[in-house]
Structure formats: structure tokens, C-alpha cells
Structure 1
């Protein structure tokens, strides 16, 4: 019996040592990767396929103002955000650009937002007055801006991670293509 115990001991030691050695090697690789800055997770990639947009009330989408604006919009927004095709049936007077984690979406010709009141705080960006609306959660995922001082309401929805570049670039186009009007709060 003592011969069997002596033969089992090296096998038991090997069975315990192998997983420990493997754990040490994996931990070493992870530490080395972190120190070097190599993350195993690739950064998210923007989707570029057709985007399905829900239909919304857009009574002025067929206006000349919306046509003029859409014709002047850039194919690519700052940061390399390329135009993203819209899935059929695409809502009228809409445009999208690929972005992470969500696309940048512009709609033109929507009705006056109910949130626009005489005491609404407006954000002036490159000569355009915008009403800022977030998605209502403590840490917003997207922010929606409504241009309220033009002949049509222009709505731009931007992922929070996109920063201010899309709003600034779109503001330039809105300023250059649509005349300024008085803000209609009621």
C-alpha cells in the first residue's frame, strides 16, 4: 500500500501545480497587456447599414426649407461620421450619420416642441437657437436639440459620446441655409 501512496503523490502534486501555474501565466499576460495598454476588447465600431427610423409627425417635411437644408447637409460630419442610409420606408426630410454607440439623426419639419415655453433655456450655437432635450434618464444616452428660430423646426439627435462637433457643424448649415425667425413659444 505504501508503494501506491508514493506513486499517487507526484500525480496529486502535478494535478495541483498545473492549474496554479496556468493561473499565474494568465495573470502575467493580463498584467503585461494592461501595462502596455493593449486592451483585449476592440473599440466599438459604428454601424453603417440602413437605419430604420420610426415615423414621426413632420407636417413641414416637404417644405422648401427642409429641401434646401437637406441638400446642403454634409456627407460626412466631423470625426469621420459618414452618412448612413435609411431603411425603407424612410421618413421624409431625415438624414443619419454613423456614430458610436448610436447614430446622429437629423429630422426637418417637425411640429413645435411642447417643451418650448416662454421660460425655456435656449442654447445659442453658431448663430442658431437650440432647445436642448435629453432622454430623461439620470445619465443621458442621447441628447436632442431642436432649432427653434427658423421657419421650420430642425431636430438633431446626438449620442452623448459624440461631443459638440455634430451640433456645431449642423448649426453652420442651418444658419447659412435657413433664415432666422422669431421664436414662437405659444
Structure 2
């Protein structure tokens, strides 16, 4: 996913608010190193027992986002869910920048709920289609 807004101040605020460890299935999963070239405004959590969970800020509007898209409200944040090949990307679409959280289907909903709380507290809500 291209990330044309990755350098935006809103992404800096989101990145600063992301935790060092993410709670997945009752375990604290640490951040992990990202291979070069590191995509801008990207954080990955994972360890030997957990598939990677990736957060990217400032991505371009996804083609799947249309006025008829089914959005899911999680803790006050509107998300577009895109599943493919055993992984799901959740895209926050009601903030000044788009934020994606990509995880395996067995990671549960905890990471999306946690990121919803961070986005709700960090970025103002806006209309999905202004």
C-alpha cells in the first residue's frame, strides 16, 4: 500500500502513541525489527509464537473504500475490513490520515480494539466522505 501521507504530523502523533508491546491472545508481543527498506510510518509487532501485526499510517485511500462500503465501528472508530489469504487489514477511514492494521485471522480482535482507543485519543474524527 502506498503511503503518501506517512510524513504527516498526524502520523507522527500516532506512531508516538503506539505501545512497545501489543496484547495478543493474553500475551504481550514486542515490537520487532523491520527489514530494510523500512516503509515509512510503519511499526510491526511479533515474536516466535505470534504472527506479525503491522500498523501503517498515512496510506493512500484504498480502492475498496466506496460510499457503499460496509464499515465496522470499533470503540468509536470506523474501520473497513479487507481479508485476503488468511490475513486481514483493518483500515481506519474516519481520521485525518488513513491507518491500516494488518494481522493474521487468529490474532483476535484485541489489536484492533487497542488501536481504536489510540486513534480515538490521538486524532480527531472526521467524515469518511467529506
Q: TM-score, normalising length from structure 1?
A: 0.65
Matches of 2:67 and 2:37 in 1, distance apart?
Answer: 36
Aligned residue runs from structure 1 range 74-89, under 5 A = 74-78=19-23, 79-89=27-37
Shift in CA distance, 65/107, structure 1 to aligned 2, threshold 3 Å:
same
Q: Is it true that 1:175 corresponds to 2:123 in the alignment?
A: no
Aligned counterpart, 2:79: 130
- The count of corresponding residues between Structure 1 and Structure 2 is 126
Task: Judge conservation of contact 2:80–2:90 (CA < 8 Å) in 1.
Answer: yes
Matches of 1:158 and 1:172 in 2, distance apart?
Answer: 17
Aligned residue runs from structure 1 range 1-186, under 5 A = 56-78=1-23, 79-98=27-46, 100=49, 102-135=51-84, 140-184=85-129
Identify the structure with the greater strand proportion.
2
The runs of 5 or more residues in structure 1 that have no matched partner are 1-55
**Deviation of 1:101 (Å):** 5.4
Identify the structure with the greater helix proportion.
1
Question: Once superposed, what is the RMSD of the aligned Cα atoms?
Answer: 1.4
Matches of 1:87 and 1:144 in 2, distance apart?
Answer: 20
Q: Secondary structure at the match of 1:118?
A: coil
The runs of 5 or more residues in structure 2 that have no matched partner are none
Larger radius of gyration: 1
Q: TM-score, normalising length from structure 2?
A: 0.91
Q: Which has the higher contact order (CA 8 A, sep 6+)?
A: 2
CA shift digits 1:66-103 (9 cap, x unpaired): 00000000011113111111122201100000055530
Moved over 3 A (4+): none
